[in-house]
Amino acid sequence: MRALLIVTLLLSACTWNRTDKGKHEMTYSAQEVLEQLDLAFQGKLSDYFPAGGNNDVRYNFFLDLEHGYCETAGSKIHLYGDATRWAIVFEKSGYQNRGFAAEIELNYVGNCTRYSVEQAAGRNYITNSRRVNLIDANEYERIRNKTGGEMEQFELISAGAVTVNVRNTQVKIEHDPAKYRAAGIQLRDFDNPNHLVDYSSLLRYLLASNPALVGATENDIKQQLPSDLPKLLTIDSFHFESTYDKASPPSAQETYQLLAKVLVNQSPALWQPKEKPNNDWRNWESGNL
């Protein structure tokens, strides 16, 4: 009987260690997660950033659905973590109207990020951001409308263009304005008498019709994270407040409070927001120079 009792207690101890390990060995807190989010929101650096040299430039970016140089298409939030490491990855796709290209922008906040470093003019540019090309400027130029007036050729796609190269995949270009309207997309109405598809509308239509093609892959995201860091959750719909409203930092918002809660408890089931999702691009003015 005594031997059976000892075996039972040992099995119970093993079960407790296995099921509660994440909760009892966490080395970060919800407060730390929210503090790091607030720093990125304010554009301030955290202690996790590489020190860099005297001439180096460092940037800490946050999700921005209203950027004047990007006509936003899609946005997501990815959560990764274990007992000692955590990362929140903001994903935004859009048309970069200054670069004439469609890209995914990934912004990383966490304690295990590998920061991007680029060299230019004798200095390093260190950021928490990574760009993934979707449609480059050469491809947009290939399919650009080259007839009519000057503005009819600006950021409009030729009616004769059949396909567009998206991440090395040839995709059929839809030209029917009715199909864009059905997807809630309004083609550019100024200087566009022939109702041609504009650059940003094409990307938004691709997002609606083939979201996997224009979304970040796990390989894209993990380029800046430890390869063995577990993924907890991807959030497609969430409540967003303007990045330019500095009176409402992430630490004061339900969305980010819940993200911190999910991370420190290692429990995706705790993502139970009460606020209405509004991150859809239709709710935000973007790309206005």
- Within a domain: 58: yes
Q: Are 120 and 32 contained in the same domain?
A: yes
Contact predicate 203/143, CB 8 Å: no
Residues of the chain below pLDDT 70: 1-24
> Where does a domain end: 153, 188, 209?
209
Q: Are 36 and 117 contained in the same domain?
A: yes
Tens digit of pLDDT for each residue in 66-110? 999 999 999 999 999 999 999 999 999 999 999 999 999 999 999
SS (H, E, C) the chain: CHHHHHHHHHHHHHHHHHHHHHHHCCCCCHHHHHHHHHHHHHCCCCCCCCCCCCCCEEECCCCCCCCCCEEEEEEEEEEEECCCCEEEEEEEEEEECCCCEEEEEEEEEECCCCCEEEEECCEEEEECEEEEEEECHHHHHHHECCCCCCHHHCCEECCCCCEEEECCEEEECCCCHHHHHHCCCCCCCCCCCCCCCEHHHHHHHHHHHCCCCCCCCHHHHHCCCCCCCCEEEEECCCCCCCCCCCCCCHHHCHHHHHHHHHHHHCCHHHCCCCCCCCCCHHHCCCCCC
Q: Are 225 and 198 contained in the same domain?
A: no
Q: Are 233 and 185 contained in the same domain?
A: no
Give the integer Cα–Cα distance in Å for 169 and 159: 20
At 179, which amino acid appears?
K
Q: Are 149 and 241 contained in the same domain?
A: no
- Within a domain: 219: yes
Q: What is the pLDDT, as a whole number, of residue 17?
A: 31
Tokens of 235: 């959030």
Q: Please give the backbone phi and psi of residue 125, each rounded to the nearest 5 degrees, phi first.
A: -110, 110
Q: What is the pLDDT, as a whole number, of residue 10?
A: 30
- pTM as predicted: 0.90
Contact predicate 93/247, CB 8 Å: no
Give the integer Cα–Cα distance in Å for 47 and 282: 36
Q: What is the pLDDT, as a whole number, of residue 278?
A: 98
Tokens of 85: 């490491």
Q: What is the pLDDT, as a whole number, of residue 122?
A: 86
Q: Are 123 and 260 contained in the same domain?
A: yes
> Where does a domain end: 209, 231, 252?
209
Q: Are 118 and 232 contained in the same domain?
A: yes
> Where does a domain end: 209, 239, 269?
209
The whole domain housing 191 covers 138-209
Q: What is the pLDDT, as a whole number, of residue 25?
A: 72
Give the integer Cα–Cα distance in Å for 193 and 158: 13
Bridge partners, 264 (sequence order): none
Angle at 257 between CA 251 and CA 263, to 5 degrees: 120
